[in-house]
Amino acid sequence: MAIKRALAIPLACRPAASMLSPVLYQPIKLQGLMAIRGLSSTQTIFVGRATTGTARRFYSVISEECKAKLYNYPQIKKLTQAPNPDSIIVDVREPVEYEEGHIPGAINIPFKSSPGALGLNAEEFEENFGFKKPDADKELIFYCLAGIRSTAAEDLAKTFGYKKRGNYVGSYEDWVANEIKKDTVPATSV
């Protein structure tokens, strides 16, 4: 069964780097394929790998440019090893998910149960979360389990005045997979 508003993009049309990670396509590059499927350039579509079996990441083609910086595992790993005082990693999963494991140094601001958290004043925020509200001049780098909630949280943060935003679209699933891979790769002898 096909996913509604899914668009099959031939592998030959995809950039080589997209085979392993998500890609944001410019609407102009998809117009022909979308027209064939009867889709307009203002509809939300799914772009992903058919072999995954589930629609894991959704992108909108309403905007022609991504306003947030997209992060990958090596960049997040580097931030955990050498934190940047101007960047804050924000886990938007629910507290129970956060407690079961999270990226080192991340703060927890759950998107589902507290979507308006960044709109609270500093006192209310600290009362609710137990730590200081991130300053609007800091870069907030969002992640969740698979990149869906983090994308929504990043978009919502801009409405609360956060201009510097990032999104680790691979999110916690990607983090765990890379950490496990790193720990299980046998050392090579010289």
> What pLDDT is stored for residue 52 in this prediction?
43
**CB–CB of 121/115 below 8 Å?**
no
Is the domain of 17 the same as that of 98? no
Q: What is the DSSP string of 112-143?
A: TT-TTGGGS-HHHHHHHHSSPPPPTTSEEEEE
**What's the pLDDT at 61?**
37
Residue partners of 82: CB distance under 8 A and separation at least 6: none
pLDDT score for 92: 97
Distances (CA, A) of 28 to 6, 10, 36: 17, 16, 14
131 and 54 belong to one structural domain: no
Main-chain phi, psi angles of 58, to 5 degrees: -120, 140
The pLDDT of residue 67: 74
User: 34: domain range?
Assistant: 11-60
Active site residues: 144
Is 29 in the same domain as 103?
no
The pTM of the full predicted model, rounded to 2 decimals, is 0.66
Q: How far apart are CA 97 and CA 94, in angstroms?
A: 5
Rounded Cα distance between 43 and 57, Å, is: 15
In this structure, the answer to whether residues 49 and 85 fall within a common structural domain is no
Task: Tell whether 20 is covered by a domain.
Answer: yes
pLDDT of residue 182: 75
Q: Are residue 23 and residue 74 in the same domain, yes or no?
A: no
Residue 68 confidence (pLDDT): 87
Q: Are residues 94 and 48 in the same domain?
A: no
Q: Which of 120, 126, 115 is nearest to 155 (CA)?
A: 115
CATH number at residue 123: 3.40.250.10
Q: Based on the structure, what is the number of domains in the chain? A: 2
* Single-letter code of the amino acid located at 33: L
Ordered per-residue pLDDT tens for the chain, 190 residues: 444 555 565 555 555 544 444 555 555 556 666 665 666 655 555 555 544 433 444 444 334 345 789 999 999 999 999 999 999 999 999 999 999 999 999 999 999 999 999 999 999 999 999 999 999 999 999 999 999 899 989 989 999 999 999 999 899 999 999 999 877 756 555 5
pLDDT, residue 181, reads: 84
Tokens coding 154 = 């990043």
Cβ neighbour number for residue 156 with a 10 Å cutoff: 19
